[in-house]
Amino acid sequence: MLVLYKGDMMMGSTIIVGGFFGDEGKGKIVAHLALKDKPSIIARGGVGPNAGHTVEKGKQKHGVRMIPSGFIYKDARLLIGAGVLIDPHVLEREINELGVKGRIGIDPRCIIIEEKHILEDRQNKRLADKIGTTGTGCGPANKDRVMRCARQAKDVEELSAYITDVPLEINEALDAGQTVIIEGTQGFGISLFYGTYPYVTSKDTTASQIAADIGIGPTRVDDVIIVFKAFPTRVGAGPFPTEMSSEDVKRLGIAEYGTVTGRRRRIGKWDGPMAKYSAMINGATQVALTGLDKLDPSCYGITDYDDLSDTVKEFVRNAEQDVRVPITILSTGPKISQTIDLRG
Ligand code: GTP
Ligand code: IMP
Ligand code: MG
């Protein structure tokens, strides 16, 4: 039986992470939580502009690579943690396009992606061809960070207006009893530590890393929401045990393309053991399940649990049995409104 979670609305800090190989729909889930829970801060951890979070509201569709997806909630401060790599060009473009200049704060210790990092990412055959990186310079910039020869945000004049002590802002907000949403990027399967090395991104992607990225200690994390999609996807090379044939994907009509690279995403069937293991290492307290409309198109856009088809209800029940963590948010389409929130 599905445990219909009747907890309180979100308070304190909640980290949102990806449980499969990235692109689980974290952007949509964060945007939904931001509008519903009205946090004072939405902070971004994770690798950097290799991520592409999609946020769709009404007719508007945004693909954000640097700005927290919760920008859609206009009263929240938008912070980028020290662990995140910044591409100043991508950041500036998004700030202008989204009109969020007055709300952005970036940590002085963020590492800067420079042109040479992007070139190396695209020209190095191992990275470009074998691993199939996003070509956004993240791996080479993280390499320079470890070599201790990278530039930091505090050294870049154009960023001076945004510089703030991100951990201090977040910890003070938590001391004052405010709500803080912390957004991770990528997914468990491409974590540098726990993923399918060497076919992984250049950093760990689990909740503990995301907390470190934005500067809160483990004892300050109240909730971890892990996002899974009904049909996991993977972009780039690497093992994918439940991958489907392209004929099956075509027959089901569930093809997907990358937000950053436009590459076709490989698509697989639900992977229960991976979901369970990933929830364990992430310390997940809740699960958000996306793409239920792909499982049964008749469920597209449904916002009431009782209206879901038996097929989808059974899938949700089985998924909860697999993961052994309460499923609290169900997504039935890409738009923020196409959500069933069971948190009470
Ligand atoms: P990364 O940080 O890059 O890992 O991305 P992400 O987890 O934010 O996901 P991304 O936006 O890259 O990919 C998810 C895709 O699925 C987007 O195109 C979303 O609009 C879409 N999406 C999200 N939830 C649903 C859903 O419930 N149903 C359908 N059909 N699409 C969804
Ligand atoms: P990099 O992070 O650009 O170095 O890419 C390393 C691997 O991670 C490649 O297989 C990418 O396709 C994958 N990857 C990086 N970021 C994302 C993401 O946001 N979604 C999905 N895959 C990603
Ligand atoms: Mg993405």
Which residue lies with its CA nearest to atom 20 of ligand 2? 22
Residue 317 located in a structural domain:
yes
Average pLDDT over residues 46-71: 94
What spacing in Å lies between the alpha carbon of 323 and ligand 1's midpoint? 20
pTM strictly above 0.85 = yes
Which residue has tokens 């912390």?
Answer: 182
User: Residue 58: what pLDDT?
Assistant: 87
**Residue from 21, 54, 66, 185 to probe ligand 1 pocket by mutation (most atoms less than 8 Å from CB):** 54
Catalytic residues: 23, 53
DSSP state of 306: G
pLDDT by residue (tens digit) across 87-98? Answer: 999 999 999 999
Residue 4 located in a structural domain:
no
Residue 130 located in a structural domain:
yes
Closest C-alpha among 140, 80, 134 to residue 114: 140
**Whole-number mean pLDDT of the chain?**
95
Phi/psi-derived region of residue 194, left when phi > 0, alpha when psi is between -120 and 50, beta in every other case: alpha
**Number of domain units in the chain:** 1
Asked if pLDDT for residue 3 goes beyond 70, the answer is no
Phi/psi-derived region of residue 38, left when phi > 0, alpha when psi is between -120 and 50, beta in every other case: left
The closest ligand to the CA of 184 turns out to be 1
On whether the CB atoms of residues 228 and 320 are closer than 8 A, the answer is no
Residue 30 located in a structural domain:
yes
Which residue lies with its CA nearest to atom 24 of ligand 1? 334
Residue 7 located in a structural domain:
no
Residue 85 located in a structural domain:
yes
Q: Tell me the percentage of the chain whose pLDDT exceeds 70.
A: 97
Which residue lies with its CA nearest to atom 1 of ligand 2? 133
Q: Tell me the percentage of the chain whose pLDDT exceeds 90.
A: 94
User: Residue 10: what pLDDT?
Assistant: 55
Average pLDDT over residues 61-76: 96
Which residue has tokens 């929830």?
Answer: 279
Q: Where are the beta strands (DSSP E) in the chain?
A: 13-18, 41-44, 53-57, 60-64, 77-80, 85-86, 104-106, 111-112, 180-183, 223-229, 233-234, 266-267, 286-290, 327-331, 339-341
Domain with residue 218: its CATH number is 3.40.440.10
Average pLDDT over residues 168-179: 98
What spacing in Å lies between the alpha carbon of 276 and ligand 2's midpoint? 22
Asked if pLDDT for residue 1 goes beyond 60, the answer is no
Cα separation of 105 and 344, whole Å?
32
User: Residue 6: what pLDDT?
Assistant: 45
230: confidence class by pLDDT, cuts 50, 70, 90: very high
What is the DSSP secondary-structure string of 170-188?
Answer: HHHHHHTT--EEEE--S-G
pLDDT by residue (tens digit) across 8-22? Answer: 455 799 999 999 999
Q: Which helix (H) or strand (E) holds 317?
A: helix 310-323
DSSP state of 301: T
Neighbours of ion ligand 3 (CB under 5 A): 23, 52, 259
Residue 82 located in a structural domain:
yes
Atom of ligand 1 nearest to the CA of 187: 4
User: Residue 286: what pLDDT?
Assistant: 98
Taking only Cα atoms into account, the Rg of the chain, rounded to an integer number of angstroms, comes to: 19
Residue 1 located in a structural domain:
no
Query: Which domain does 160 fall in, by range?
Result: 13-341
Q: CA separation (Å) from 97 to 67, 69, 91, 93, 94?
A: 11, 14, 10, 6, 5
